[in-house]
């Protein structure tokens, strides 16, 4: 028998084992030695696979060569089997029962999809990139040119300003198919509306006119504030509290809802803030900054338009001498950041920065459109000329994706204007799309990025609203099909006035003291005592109802209410029937003249004894001068 193993015997084999050691140098040398062999084996495997693939390809081609004639023969046999006897004359095959080949159907569908994609690409320019498929005409109510046009950031409300001194406010959600404004006003009488602008959240509307005073409306169209007019007799315009001449343009900061900028004929650009608004005077008393525009000789030039960059870090101004000045926002505004005194040869009408704020586009009355790069501001990148311009308010701008640049033209002709709306490619200024107007010119254009609609202000006072039925959202699509609500005369809004005098402040306790509470209680009791003892007004007694029976208390019943009164009424009517029916009153009176002469009743009875010879007063006037006045009578003696 074997002896039982102890715990010490079990531990001995474990004690004899050692940890495995790794020689890194030996392993590296072995790997380098095996690498060429591994590469050689992989090359052989790839050659074998290539040979097998070539052989399988040849085998497949051979099988196809063999099977194709067999398939053709089988198809011919099937066609022979399907031939059968000839069809009778006039027999037509029911094509609805024929099963189409699935491969042919798939190919047909693919061809249709490709054709539809080609058609979609062709229509993409008009329907998607430029939403001009449909249009509606909005009338401003005057026949003067539209010189100002603005729409809020949400695309719900827009405003139209004209040369006829009017501003019309519209709301897409409230309009019906008549397209009438919810408010029209004349903010500055006898002054042209030069520009309109909504702030970033759409709460305020800035109006600049030919007057030196700016006006700001709230969202309901009520005047919220105005600015002070500067003293025009001060030589230093920096010391004035506001503009001293007509304001040409105005715009809001792209991110700050309180800051806005204006430019004027006094040669200054002023930065304002609505935080300086005074509730008592309803006025913004002064501006934050004053920027003066000067030419090379240091003299004043008039800025006609102004613009913020997309990030609000730059301020640009286009002047009447064709120069463009750009300052850094928030600086001292002494020296310009970028300056080109010969950008155009005539007044600059409009400017706009690109999305990356590295380029600037400008429009001028010299008939040109130019693209500038701020890094090389001395010369334009691209120039487009031949664009007729007759209004200093002519607009331009980028499309929402900056692929297009749009502007308008006005050509003066006999009896009015003609013009067009042009869309150019922003890369090379090649004309991409054009909308012509025969009897009116195109002045103001706004392309809203959210609702994908274009508003165009014309010289006849109308505004064209272009939209696409597939891609445009809300806007004019909300109101073109909305029916006109019929006004009802029976609809009355009844407002009852509720009087609660005890809720006034004079009857409220001023504190927690017992004395104050007693005073308040005394006031309440005094008011109630006065109210209860007040003399009530005497109400008028209502009129009595008509009587039906016999007369009583001085009141007589209506004629014909009793049998006696009815008979008397009928007798009187029958007696005077001929007299009432006779139209000739004179003849009816002369009818009784002969009888009255024979039987006199009144006057002739007094002279009956002297008849038939009438007796008159004797005439005693023998002298001719008796009829003369006393002071003219002849005196005797």
What does the block give as tokens for 273? 């803030």
Instruction: Please give the average per-residue pLDDT across 486-499, as a whole number.
Output: 60
Q: Which residues are bridge partners to 273 per DSSP?
A: 259
Q: Band of the pLDDT at 154, cuts 50, 70, 90?
A: very high
What is the structure's pLDDT at 68?
46
Query: For 57-100, how does the pLDDT look when each residue is reduced to its tens digit (9 = 90+)?
Result: 454 454 444 444 454 554 454 444 444 455 566 555 555 444 45
Query: For 196-243, how does the pLDDT look when each residue is reduced to its tens digit (9 = 90+)?
Result: 999 999 999 999 999 999 999 998 899 999 999 999 899 888 899 999
Instruction: Please give the average per-residue pLDDT across 263-292, as a whole number.
Output: 93
Range of lowest pLDDT (92-101, 200-209, 409-418, 521-530): 92-101
Q: Which residues are bridge partners to 268 per DSSP?
A: 292
Where is pLDDT greater, at 15 or 629?
Answer: 629
Assigned fold of 147-435: Methylamine Dehydrogenase; Chain H (2.130.10)
Query: For 277-291, how does the pLDDT look when each residue is reduced to its tens digit (9 = 90+)?
Result: 998 888 999 999 999
181 contacts 197 by C-beta, under 8 angstroms: no
Placement of tokens 């004629």 in the chain: 559
Residue 563: what are its φ and ψ, rounded to 5°?
-65, -40
What is the structure's pLDDT at 475?
87
Query: For 313-345, how does the pLDDT look when each residue is reduced to its tens digit (9 = 90+)?
Result: 999 999 999 999 999 998 889 899 999 999 999
Query: What does DSSP assign to residue 287?
Result: -
Q: Share the mean pLDDT of the chain.
A: 79
Where is pLDDT greater, at 519 or 17?
Answer: 519
Proportion of the chain above pLDDT 70, given as a percent: 65
Q: Which residues lie below 8 Å from residue 418, measured CB to CB, with a gap of 6+?
A: 410, 411, 437, 438, 439, 440, 441
What is the structure's pLDDT at 522?
72
Instruction: Please give the average per-residue pLDDT across 42-71, as a whole number.
Output: 48
Q: Band of the pLDDT at 29, cuts 50, 70, 90?
A: confident
Where is pLDDT greater, at 423 or 110?
Answer: 423
What is the structure's pLDDT at 83?
47
Collapsing DSSP to helix, strand or coil, 543 comes out as: coil
Task: Spell out a b/e string for 279-290, using b for 16 or more CB atoms within 10 Å of the CB, else e.
Answer: eeeebbebbebb
What does the block give as tokens for 514? 């017992």
Which phi-psi region, left, alpha or beta, contains residue 300 (left: φ > 0; alpha: ψ -120 to 50)?
Answer: beta
Query: For 103-147, how does the pLDDT look when each residue is reduced to its tens digit (9 = 90+)?
Result: 565 566 566 655 655 544 444 444 468 898 899 999 988 999 999
Instruction: Please give the average per-residue pLDDT across 575-594, as a whole number.
Output: 75
What is the structure's pLDDT at 52?
43
Q: Band of the pLDDT at 351, cuts 50, 70, 90?
A: very high
Please report which residue ranges of 353-450 form alpha helices under DSSP H: none
Proportion of the chain above pLDDT 90, given as a percent: 45
Q: Band of the pLDDT at 490, cuts 50, 70, 90?
A: low
Query: For 362-383, how does the pLDDT look when each residue is reduced to its tens digit (9 = 90+)?
Result: 999 999 999 999 999 999 999 9
Q: Band of the pLDDT at 565, cuts 50, 70, 90?
A: confident
Domain boundaries, the chain: 147-435
* In the predicted structure, residue 438 carries a pLDDT above the cut 60: yes
Rounded Cα distance between 322 and 303, Å, is 10
What is the structure's pLDDT at 609?
66
Query: What does DSSP assign to residue 87?
Result: P
Query: For 451-471, how does the pLDDT look when each residue is reduced to its tens digit (9 = 90+)?
Result: 999 999 999 999 999 998 888
- CA-wise closest residue to 272 among 335, 206, 221: 206
What is the structure's pLDDT at 355?
93
Instruction: Please give the average per-residue pLDDT across 601-620, as a whole number.
Output: 65
What does the block give as tokens for 32? 């380098």
Where is pLDDT greater, at 513 or 438?
Answer: 438
Q: Band of the pLDDT at 587, cuts 50, 70, 90?
A: confident
What is the structure's pLDDT at 588?
77
């Amino acid at each position: 028998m074997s002896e039982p193993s102890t715990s010490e015997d079990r531990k001995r084999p474990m004690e004899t084992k050692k940890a495995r050691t790794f020689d890194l140098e030996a392993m590296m040398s072995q790997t380098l030695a095996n690498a060429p062999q591994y590469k050689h084996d992989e090359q052989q495997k790839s050659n074998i696979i290539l040979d097998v693939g070539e052989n399988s390809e040849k085998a497949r081609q051979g099988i196809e060569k063999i099977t194709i004639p067999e398939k053709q023969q089988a198809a011919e046999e099937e066609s022979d089997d399907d031939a059968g006897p000839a069809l009778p004359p006039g027999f037509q095959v029911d094509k609805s029962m024929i099963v189409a080949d699935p491969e042919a159907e798939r190919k047909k569908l693919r061809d249709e999809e490709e054709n539809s994609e080609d058609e979609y690409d062709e229509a993409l320019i008009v329907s998607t990139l430029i939403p001009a498929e449909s249009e509606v005409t909005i009338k401003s109510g005057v026949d003067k040119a539209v010189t100002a046009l603005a729409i809020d950031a949400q695309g719900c409300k827009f405003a139209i300003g004209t040369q006829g001194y009017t501003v019309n406010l519209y709301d897409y959600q409230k309009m019906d198919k008549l397209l009438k404004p919810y408010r029209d006003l004349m903010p500055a009488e006898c002054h042209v509306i030069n520009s309109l602008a909504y702030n970033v959240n759409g709460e305020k509307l800035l109006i600049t006119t030919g007057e030196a005073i700016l006006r700001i409306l709230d969202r309901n169209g009520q005047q919220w504030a105005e600015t002070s007019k500067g003293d025009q007799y001060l030589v230093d315009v920096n010391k004035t509290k506001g503009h001293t001449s007509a304001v040409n343009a105005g715009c809001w900061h792209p991110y700050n809802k309180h800051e806005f900028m204006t430019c004027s004929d006094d040669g200054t650009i002023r930065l304002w803030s609505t935080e300086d608004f005074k509730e008592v005077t309803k006025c913004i008393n002064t501006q934050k900054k004053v920027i003066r525009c000067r030419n090379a000789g240091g003299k004043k030039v008039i800025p006609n338009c102004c613009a913020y960059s997309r990030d609000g870090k730059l301020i640009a101004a286009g002047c009447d001498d064709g120069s463009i000045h750009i300052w850094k926002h928030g600086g001292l505004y002494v020296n310009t950041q970028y300056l080109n005194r010969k950008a155009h040869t005539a007044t600059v009408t409009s400017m706009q920065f690109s999305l990356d704020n590295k380029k600037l586009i400008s429009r001028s009355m010299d008939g040109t459109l130019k693209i500038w790069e701020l890094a090389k501001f001395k010369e334009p990148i691209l120039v487009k000329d031949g664009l007729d311009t007759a209004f200093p308010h002519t607009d331009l701008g980028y499309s929402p994706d900056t692929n297009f640049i749009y502007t308008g033209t006005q050509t003066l002709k006999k009896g009015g204007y003609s013009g067009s709306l042009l869309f150019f490619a922003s890369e090379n200024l090649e004309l991409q799309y054009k909308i012509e107007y025969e009897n009116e010119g195109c002045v103001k254009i706004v392309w809203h990025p959210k609702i994908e609609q274009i508003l165009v202000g014309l010289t006849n006072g109308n505004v064209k609203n272009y939209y696409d039925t597939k891609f445009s959202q809300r806007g004019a699509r909300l109101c073109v099909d909305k029916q006109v609500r019929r006004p009802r005369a029976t609809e009355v809004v009844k407002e009852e006035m509720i009087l609660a005098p005890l809720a006034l402040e004079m009857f409220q306790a001023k504190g927690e003291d017992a004395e104050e509470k007693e005073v308040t209680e005394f006031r309440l009791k005094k008011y109630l005592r006065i109210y209860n003892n007040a003399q009530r007004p005497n109400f008028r007694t209502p009129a009595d109802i008509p009587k039906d029976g016999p007369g009583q208390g001085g009141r007589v019943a209506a004629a014909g209410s009793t049998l006696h009164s009815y008979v008397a009424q009928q007798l009187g009517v029958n007696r005077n029937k001929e007299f009432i029916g006779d139209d000739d009153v004179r003849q009816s009176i002369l009818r009784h003249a002969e009888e009255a002469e024979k039987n006199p009743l009144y006057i002739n009875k007094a002279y009956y004894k002297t008849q038939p010879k009438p007796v008159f007063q004797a005439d005693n006037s023998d002298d001719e001068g008796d009829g003369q006045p006393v002071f003219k009578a002849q005196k005797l003696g």
